[in-house]
Amino acid sequence: MKLADKVAIVTGAGRNIGEDVSRLFAAEGAAVAVVDLDKARADRVAAEIVASGGKAQGFLCDVGSEEDIVRCVADVKAAFGGVDILVNNAAISDNKTMFDISTQEWNRVLAITLTAPFLFSKYAALEMIAQGRGGRIVNVSSTSGYYGRDRAIAYTAAKGGVVNLTKSLAIQLAPHKIRVNAVVPNKIGSPVGKDEFDPTRPVLNLVGRPGLPADLAKAALFLVSDDAEFIVGAALFVDGGCTTLMPGNS
């Protein structure tokens, strides 16, 4: 078991990628705080983990609210006795152009997708530092953080921010033995904000199939485990080689 006796918080864990990260971490021995804005989703995932012999609990939290984040970290500590691992997975996309998006929509996407990983890292790190046993943080970015898109503007800006946020957090938390890294998925499971997997969603990568939530979960497990002891501030692409392909060149 790679995460025996660890307490892990996974945000946006009520479905898709966060759900599989929670399941895998629990199977590796962690007590998992399944955090979501949709409590029913979080409770379903937690209940299924418990039914299969793991340790988990659902927590209601809007990661767009600093108050909620502070309360959530305290609730997890009360339930499981501390915090060792944080996966900042929750995000929303705008799917808008720069002319269609309102300032309010822009601010909400930035709050959930970029500010929340900062704030959750801050309050979880304060807890990790107080515990004195180090910690691990994984931020979920996106290939949309490396490329421009015609159908998203706030999301691409926020995901680019997550990559460099990861580096500064890694530097500032290294003295406390807290390792911070990022994963960079492309087209994994259902699209962000959607329940249903779309088999017709075009996929262009070197593996020749769409990514599965389990692909991302395995990468996150690697980064939070001792196997990645010497990996700090990295952005691990989990994209089937999609970003290796140069557009328009064969």
Residues known to be catalytic:
155
Long-range Cβ pairs for the range 22-26 (8 Å, 24+): 22/46, 22/49, 22/56, 23/48, 23/49, 23/54, 23/217, 24/214, 24/217, 24/218, 24/220, 24/221, 25/85, 25/217, 25/220, 25/221, 25/224, 26/54, 26/55, 26/56
- Tell me how many residues contact ligand NAD (CB under 6 A): 31
- Binding to ligand NAD by residue 24, rule CB under 6 A? no
Please, which residue, 11 or 166, has the CB nearer to ligand NAD?
11
Q: In the set 3, 24, 72, 90, which binds ligand NAD (CB under 6 A)? A: 90
- Binding to ligand NAD by residue 193, rule CB under 6 A? yes
Q: In the set 112, 128, 138, 180, which binds ligand NAD (CB under 6 A)? A: 112
Q: In the set 22, 89, 156, 166, which binds ligand NAD (CB under 6 A)? A: 89
Please, which residue, 196 or 229, has the CB nearer to ligand NAD?
196
Of 6-14, 74-82, 123-131, 228-236, which segment contacts ligand NAD by CB under 6 A?
6-14
Q: What is the DSSP string of 15-36?
A: SHHHHHHHHHHHHTT-EEEEEE
Q: In the set 3, 8, 10, 12, which binds ligand NAD (CB under 6 A)? A: 12
Q: In the set 54, 58, 135, 189, which binds ligand NAD (CB under 6 A)? A: 189
SS3 letters across 85-151:
EEEECCCCCCCCCCCCCCHHHHHHHHHHHHHHHHHHHHHHHHHHHHHCCCEEEEEECCHHHCCCCCC
**Angle, helix 66-80 to helix 116-131, in steps of 10 degrees:** 30
- Binding to ligand NAD by residue 190, rule CB under 6 A? yes
Least distance between ligand NAD and beta carbon 180 (Å):
16
Q: Alpha-carbon torsion 139, 235, 219, 84, what sign? A: negative
Please, which residue, 16 or 57, has the CB nearer to ligand NAD?
16
Please, which residue, 23 or 187, has the CB nearer to ligand NAD?
187
- Binding to ligand NAD by residue 38, rule CB under 6 A? yes
What DSSP designation does 191 have? P
Which residues lie near ligand NAD (CB under 6 A)?
Answer: 11-12, 14-18, 36-38, 41, 61-64, 89-92, 112, 140, 142, 185-193
